[in-house]
Structure 1
Amino acid sequence: MPVKAKICGINHPEALRAAVDGGARYIGLVFFAKSPRNVSLPLAAELARMVPTGVRTVGLFVDPTDEFLDQALAQVPLDLIQLHGEETPERVAAIRAATRLPVMKALKVETAADLDAASAYEPVADILLFDAKPPKGAVLPGGNGVAFDWTLLTGRQWAKPWMLSGGLAPDTVAEAIRVSGAEAVDVSSGVEDRPGHKDPALIRAFLKAVRVI
């Protein structure tokens, strides 16, 4: 089965076109003010309307309030909500019920014990995302260009689909997939030429590396 790819932190039509044309299955829009990839709701709405049928538009939120979720969903047509903060299983379940949208929960990984925590989210999340634990003092919960030990995932199985993230790039994604067994991957900083600016050429190279596996 072909490996699915998500390009996260899209904030420009040119990057969106490169992702879609290259075969990305997910487009990620970041709604987190501290991120260089943050998009305003009007721009996000414009970008989401450009996403063709068959490609899922994902909204990334970090510990969002109900009010902000309502505001975002009123303006931006999203297919999937990604929660990348410290949301508890109860909060994930509540957001899923309130929005009536599938939810992806990001889990920060450094050790095998961090993976064990995923079991609490399996009953309430539709997709699990395994990302590297941020460096000490980092402002962002993800998108830091840091990888974790992919062998921690070797042979592991979960009841829900899962995606690999953290430090992936065109020249590392094939090895990451081989080692981890991932059937879906997520990239953000690894296809940027500077923080927050997606490079269409790097997006194409990343997606090509995923396709040829």
Structure 2
Amino acid sequence: MLVKVCGMTLSAQVAALDSLGVDFLGFIFAAKSPRRVTPEHVASIPRGRAKRVGVFVEQDAAEVRRIMDAAGLDLAQLHGGQDERFCEAVGPDRVVRVFWPERHARALAEAGLDADAARVRASLEAEMARFAGACALMLLDAGTSGGGHGTSLDFAGLAGLHAPRPWLLAGGLSPANAARAVREASPAGLDLNSGVEDAPGVKNLDMTKKTLNIIKSF
């Protein structure tokens, strides 16, 4: 099981989580995020083994590439619904593309169709299939846009999801629900953020370590 911890802001916490064996560390470059960091700040943090992921919402592809170079990032998490062409411009092998299952539930309901788990899953799979050649990893988040809401997806509703790339599950994950998320949704890994924080951008290291141990036990 892979583990990503997103919304990192503090150098000491980056080092601490790296030493615990986290696979990915996320840094947010979205203008409206309370966890926003600058490329210069990220570049100043000593590197460890974890891959570094930048979270982008409103930037164009050229700006994403510039920030990746300046900050020393390995991957770009595209959290603004960017299309396949955008992913290809950044570099498919460097992209984590985000999807929102609840968007599909809402669209089905608005069309007057039954938004049961099977229909939502089929609609989501169709969207994910379009990005099969445009990204290296996929990520499913709660809500219908953005992230860091502190709410969780319907884990059981994702059971049996056929994804063309390994996918991470995000949304309000903590020691209280991490095991259930893994058992019911069967993702390739979990993305932790608001569920293991004392404040935006400040992780509770004890809570994060506990969650990490739960995930890595699978």
Fold equivalence (TM over 0.5): yes
Tell me if 1:163 matches 2:168: yes
Q: Which amino acid aligns with 2:57?
A: V
Larger radius of gyration: 2
Tell me if 1:33 matches 2:31: yes
Contact 1:30 1:38 (8 Å CA) reproduced: yes
Indicate the SS of the match to 1:164. strand
Indicate the SS of the match to 1:174. helix
Q: Which amino acid aligns with 2:21?
A: G
Q: 1:105-124 counterparts in 2 under 5 A?
A: 105-110=97-102, 111=105, 112=120, 113-124=123-134
Candidates 130, 138, 149, aligned match of 1:128: 138
TM-score, normalising length: structure 1: 0.87
With 177-186 and 58-67 compared, the bigger mean Cα shift is at: 58-67
Deviations along 1:24-61, whole A, 9 cap, x unmatched? Answer: 100111111211111012111112xx2323x2111111
Tell me if 1:182 matches 2:182: no
Unaligned stretches of 5+ residues in structure 2: 106-119
| Separation (CA, whole Å) in 1 of partners of 2:58 and 2:81 | 6
Unaligned stretches of 5+ residues in structure 1: 135-139
Contact 2:64 2:76 (8 Å CA) reproduced: no
Contact 1:63 1:87 (8 Å CA) reproduced: no
Partner residue of 1:137?
A: none
Contact 2:28 2:37 (8 Å CA) reproduced: yes
Q: Which amino acid aligns with 2:47?
A: V
Indicate the SS of the match to 1:45. helix
Superposition RMSD on alpha carbons, in Å?
1.7
- Displacement of 1:179 after TM fit? 0.2
| Identity over aligned pairs, percent | 28
With 62-71 and 176-185 compared, the bigger mean Cα shift is at: 62-71
TM-score, normalising length: structure 2: 0.85
Contact 2:125 2:163 (8 Å CA) reproduced: no
Contact 1:192 1:199 (8 Å CA) reproduced: yes
Contact 2:81 2:98 (8 Å CA) reproduced: no
| Consecutive aligned runs of 4 or more in structure 1 exceeding 6 Å deviation | none
